[in-house]
């Protein structure tokens, strides 16, 4: 019989799992549930490289292990299939994004299946499938038709708000959101209003609402971009200029949930770094809102939020965001040109760039002055791009003595710096101290706590401010001017937004002739012909952002075929939430935050039962590429090796790592790969090889260091690839890829095979009784594998299994009592090989998934004998072996009988025998 052949075995078992639905999860099981969730991928045309499966392999190991532990495991997979890349390809080629996406998904499924993942493919979801996004639209309508009641601290259907309006008007209604966007009215006025007037009054209370919002507008792509999609003022895709623009946009009122999102972090098992990122993003602060009057502008008021109202006597200027609504009114004719130039420059910078740039000092004076409400001093009003219109009030009171950025700004522009506290040291930098006594006005002689209380009381008594808790988080912009996304189920009647009736969902994407914006600047959906609700009302032309469908997909996996409900009640109550979620840390303040927000909202409406969507989160690290370089001598067509490059002036060029083995270049393959170097000369090493340079960096196509799993599976097998990715190092760490290491893992699997097939011959497992040494090796592995998987320490498990196989090989072990449990231990890591061996051991095909994890027995690790160092007056002379159960008296007698005293005590009679059980013997003479 031939030796281990992974290619034959793996295809066989993948087909068996698929044809037999081996990994289908049951929504009605008496077993305890365990839900393992992967962050589902966006299916790009490039397919998977070896860095992508890292988290999937880890989650699959846990999945298979939990089945062996007796759990009913849900392990689904789907695709986040709306996205900008497919749309850009459609614009370039005219090919419908659906076709591109479908082909990319087919490629992903092929690659994922080849890795032997135990997914329940019957539950696959695709966010771009109308049967799926029907329910994304349905959830949006629930948000549109809900408000957040601060009295009950939860979202409620709009009906409860309308009942309040009908009974008492707006008086006493406490709702999350911007109070300034709302108007006061009585119950009588409400009753007299038209439908349009009522809807306009209600709109600012909705959890999904439309308002003028500053966005990242990219004319080159014809769409709004998220902050993540903008870098250095350019779109990440295409490199087009991006500017800040005020546009009507749909928003979701995530700010209503800010405090609950913070509190929930204390009850989930997530990496502390991720939780801290969310805390910082939400940014809770306790302070005060203060109103500054503007000199010469009676109606103009500037509201600022500050966490240090105690420093208000040191506020020597005001800074507005360049986009602030009062900038135009407050700019004097003399300052008009400078202010406009500054505003134009700001539009070209993303919010992220503005927040991150702490070194550049820039700003422009409006020419107007505010009045410090406590010192009554006039203070200049400036604009500066470090203040953002969407954060707080879009204005800050600048206290240069207590804030370093204000200090640098004041020094740069020659503005006053006023000491606030007697212990401040402000000669060289700002000093934010709260120690000491305050120097000015109402708070002179008071300490920090007294001063804060005094000033807030004064603000409220004088009607110029109030104490306030604020959050940095802003409402989530929900519209995108794109085609390839979920249509927002809104239509317009008499200029007012209405929700599409639920029975008319899904609102399916219409066919259009081109996928770019219209000639008049409307989003691509403006090209749809005769696309109107009920044949007469204009639809919303924006589509939802990419994160919409991914904010609830974990729920749909529980019951993906349900056409009556987004998830069946029984299925949701059984699975509740994901017990384990694996994915990248880059989603900390995007997907993970939005998902928690949507889940809390659905819970408020009684539609889900769990408090949080993801109980435990693990962020896998990144597998870095191992790049290779060739070195061209400048001005020539000649290449030198890495070892000789320092002898010349050279340029390093990336080379495709797939034509390099052990850093040795296949020169002929390189010449074929790069036509311009087909006739190049290569100066070789003394052994006639061209040795490339090496550098570890991010794996990407542009660096030619991408390694496809397909190639490695063809060469070594999927089980070897799975084991190797786990063997590289701790799951959470970044680690470099090196294909050369694959051969070692492949060799381990061959050695494992030979325990069952000695010398690669016939299957030769015997029913002989196991020896103590064999049982010891096995049970060490049982305990180690269990402990390590429970700790998600997969690399140490692989090491332990390798040691076990080496020990059993040395013992020439071929016994069923040892190898049958060993097969189960290896099955989460190398499932194809384990399935093959399991059948050879006489079990039903495919049944290893429902086998029982081997029981660890401590007794097999107990040693029969113990080696004792035996000493004279504390100095060890020799080692003697005694039974593990021997008593101190028995050990003493044995030492006396052994001739030890005659050899080392020089005839002296011992004064004392000290026996430390299991450790040592000391004879005192």
Looking at residue 348, its pLDDT comes to: 82
CA 341 from centre of chain:
39
* Spatial separation of the C-alpha atoms in residues 179 and 868, rounded to whole Å: 81
Q: What is the mean pLDDT of residues 455-460?
A: 97
CATH of 865-924, one of 3.30.70.270, 3.40.50.970, 3.10.20.590, 3.40.50.920: 3.10.20.590
Q: Please write the tens of the pLDDT for every residue from 467-513.
A: 999 998 999 999 998 999 999 999 999 999 999 999 999 999 999 99
* Spatial separation of the C-alpha atoms in residues 602 and 596, rounded to whole Å: 10
Looking at residue 378, its pLDDT comes to: 97
Looking at residue 764, its pLDDT comes to: 94
For domain 716-860, which architecture applies?
Orthogonal Bundle (1.10)
- What token pair was written down for 687? 């052994």
Question: Do the Cβ atoms of 856 and 825 come closer than 8 Å?
Answer: no
CATH of domain 284-471: 3.90.740.10
Q: Please write the tens of the pLDDT for every residue from 676-689.
A: 999 999 999 999 99
Given CA atoms 598, 600, 604, 605 in this order, what sign does their dihedral have?
positive
Question: Do the Cβ atoms of 678 and 670 come closer than 8 Å?
Answer: no
Q: Please write the tens of the pLDDT for every residue from 833-867.
A: 999 999 999 999 999 999 999 999 998 988 777 88
* Spatial separation of the C-alpha atoms in residues 17 and 60, rounded to whole Å: 14
Q: How confident is the model at residue 2 (pLDDT cuts 50, 70, 90)?
A: low
Place of tokens 């071929």: 814
Q: Among residues 85, 89, 62, 87, which one has the least CA distance to residue 74?
A: 62
Q: Please write the tens of the pLDDT for every residue from 608-628.
A: 999 999 999 999 999 999 999
Q: Which residues are annotated as a binding site for ATP?
A: 701
Looking at residue 709, its pLDDT comes to: 95
Q: What is the mean pLDDT of residues 316-326?
A: 95
Looking at residue 248, its pLDDT comes to: 86
Q: Which residues are annotated as a binding site?
A: 701
Model confidence at 1: pLDDT above 70? no
Q: Please write the tens of the pLDDT for every residue from 622-665.
A: 999 999 999 999 999 999 999 999 999 999 999 999 999 999 99
Mean pLDDT lowest among 215-224, 358-367, 393-402, 758-767:
215-224
pTM for the predicted model, two decimal places: 0.87
Question: Do the Cβ atoms of 381 and 320 come closer than 8 Å?
Answer: yes
Looking at residue 516, its pLDDT comes to: 87
Residues of the chain above pLDDT 70, percent? 100
Note the helical H segments in 551-639.
Answer: 553-556, 569-575, 591-604
| Residues whose CB falls within 8 Å of the CB of residue 73, separated by 6 or more in sequence, listed in order | 25, 33, 34, 35, 36, 63, 66, 67
For the chain, domain boundaries: 25-138+551-579+589-618, 150-253+476-539, 284-471, 623-706, 716-860, 865-924
* 3-class DSSP state of 202: helix
Looking at residue 242, its pLDDT comes to: 86
Question: Looking at domain 25-138+551-579+589-618, does it have CATH number 3.40.50.620?
Answer: yes
């Amino acid at each position: 019989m031939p030796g281990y052949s992974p290619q034959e075995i793996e295809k066989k078992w993948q087909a068996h799992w698929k044809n037999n639905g081996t990994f289908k999860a049951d929504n009605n099981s008496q077993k305890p549930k365990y839900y393992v969730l992967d962050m589902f991928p966006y299916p790009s045309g490039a397919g998977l490289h070896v860095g992508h499966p890292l988290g999937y392999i880890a989650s699959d190991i846990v999945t298979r292990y939990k089945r062996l532990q007796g759990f009913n495991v849900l392990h689904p997979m789907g695709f986040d299939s709306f996205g900008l890349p497919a749309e850009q390809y459609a614009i370039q080629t005219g090919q419908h994004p659906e076709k591109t996406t479908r082909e990319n998904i087919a490629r992903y499924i092929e690659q994922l299946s080849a890795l032997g993942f135990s997914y329940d493919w019957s539950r696959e979801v695709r966010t771009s499938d109308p049967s799926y996004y029907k329910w994304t639209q349905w959830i949006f309508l629930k948000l549109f038709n809900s408000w957040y009641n601060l009295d009950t601290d939860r979202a409620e259907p709009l009906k409860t708000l309308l009942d309040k309006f009908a009974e008492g008007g707006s008086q006493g209604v406490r709702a999350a959101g911007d109070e300034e966007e709302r108007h006061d009215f009585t119950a009588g006025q409400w009753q007299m209003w038209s439908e349009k007037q009522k809807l306009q009054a209600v709109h600012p209370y909705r959890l999904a609402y439309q308002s003028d919002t500053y966005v990242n507008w990219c004319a080159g792509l014809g769409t709004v971009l998220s902050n993540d999609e903008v870098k250095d003022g350019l779109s990440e895709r295409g490199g087009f200029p991006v500017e800040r623009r005020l546009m009507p946009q749909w928003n979701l009122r995530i700010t209503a949930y800010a405090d609950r999102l913070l509190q929930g972090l204390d009850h989930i098992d997530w990496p502390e770094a991720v939780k801290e990122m969310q805390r910082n993003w939400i940014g809770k602060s306790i302070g005060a809102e203060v109103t500054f009057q503007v000199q010469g502008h009676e109606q103009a008021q500037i509201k600022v939020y500050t966490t240090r109202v105690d420093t208000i006597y040191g506020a020597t200027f005001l800074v507005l965001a360049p986009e602030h609504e009062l900038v135009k009114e407050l700019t004097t004719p003399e300052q008009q040109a400078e202010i406009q130039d500054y505003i134009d420059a700001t539009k070209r910078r993303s919010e992220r760039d503005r927040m991150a740039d702490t070194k550049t000092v820039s700003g422009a004076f409006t020419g107007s002055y505010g009045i410090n409400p406590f010192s009554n001093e006039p203070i200049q009003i400036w604009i500066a791009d470090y203040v953002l219109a969407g954060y707080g009030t879009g204005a800050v009171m600048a206290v240069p003595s207590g804030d370093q950025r204000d200090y640098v700004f004041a020094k740069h522009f020659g503005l006053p710096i006023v000491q606030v506290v007697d212990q401040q040291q402000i000669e060289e930098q700002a000093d934010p101290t709260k120690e000491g006594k305050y120097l000015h006005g109402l708070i002179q002689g008071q300490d920090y706590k007294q001063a804060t209380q005094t000033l807030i009381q004064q603000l409220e008594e004088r009607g110029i401010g109030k104490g306030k808790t604020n959050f940095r988080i802003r409402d989530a912009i929900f519209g995108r001017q794109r085609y390839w996304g979920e249509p927002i189920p809104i239509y317009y009647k008499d200029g007012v937004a209405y929700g599409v009736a639920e029975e008319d969902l899904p609102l399916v994407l219409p066919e259009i002739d081109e996928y770019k914006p219209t000639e008049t600047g409307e989003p691509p959906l403006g090209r749809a012909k005769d696309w109107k609700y009920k044949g007469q009302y204009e639809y919303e032309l924006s589509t939802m952002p990419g994160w919409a469908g991914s904010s609830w997909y974990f729920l749909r996996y529980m019951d993906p075929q349900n056409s009556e409900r987004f998830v069946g009640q029984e299925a949701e109550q059984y699975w509740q939430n994901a017990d384990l979620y694996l994915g990248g840390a880059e989603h900390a303040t995007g997907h993970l935050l939005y998902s928690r927000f949507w889940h809390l909202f659905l819970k408020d409406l009684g539609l889900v039962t769990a408090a949080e969507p993801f109980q435990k989160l693990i962020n896998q690290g990144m597998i870095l590429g191992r790049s290779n370089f060739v070195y061209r001598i400048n001005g020539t067509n000649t290449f030198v090796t890495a070892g000789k490059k320092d002898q010349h002036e050279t340029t390093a060029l990336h080379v495709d790592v797939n034509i390099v083995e052990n850093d040795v270049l296949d020169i002929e393959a390189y010449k074929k790969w790069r036509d311009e170097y087909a006739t190049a000369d290569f100066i070789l090493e003394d052994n006639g090889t061209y040795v490339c340079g090496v550098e570890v960096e991010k794996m990407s196509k542009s660096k030619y260091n991408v390694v496809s799993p397909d190639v490695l599976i063809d060469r070594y097998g999927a089980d070897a690839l799975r084991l190797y990715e786990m063997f590289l190092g701790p799951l959470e760490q970044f680690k470099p890829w090196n294909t050369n290491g694959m051969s070692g893992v492949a060799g381990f699997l061959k050695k494992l095979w030979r325990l069952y097939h000695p010398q690669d011959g016939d299957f030769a497992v015997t029913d002989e009784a196991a020896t103590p040494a064999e049982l010891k090796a096995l049970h060490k592995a049982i305990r180690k594998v269990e402990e390590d998987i429970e700790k998600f320490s997969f690399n140490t498990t692989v090491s332990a299994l390798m040691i076990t196989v080496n020990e059993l090989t040395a013992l020439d072990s071929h016994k069923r009592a040892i190898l049958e449990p060993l097969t189960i231990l290896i099955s989460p890591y190398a499932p194809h090989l384990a399935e093959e061996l399991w059948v050879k051991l006489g079990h039903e095909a495919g049944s290893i998934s429902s086998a029982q994890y081997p029981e660890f027995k401590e007794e097999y690790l107990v040693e029969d004998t113990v080696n004792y160092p035996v000493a004279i007056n504390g100095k060890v002379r020799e080692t003697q072996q005694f039974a593990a159960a021997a008593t101190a008296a028995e050990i003493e007698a044995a030492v006396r009988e052994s001739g030890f005293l005659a050899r080392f005590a020089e005839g002296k009679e011992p004064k004392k025998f000290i026996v430390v059980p299991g450790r040592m013997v000391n004879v005192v003479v």
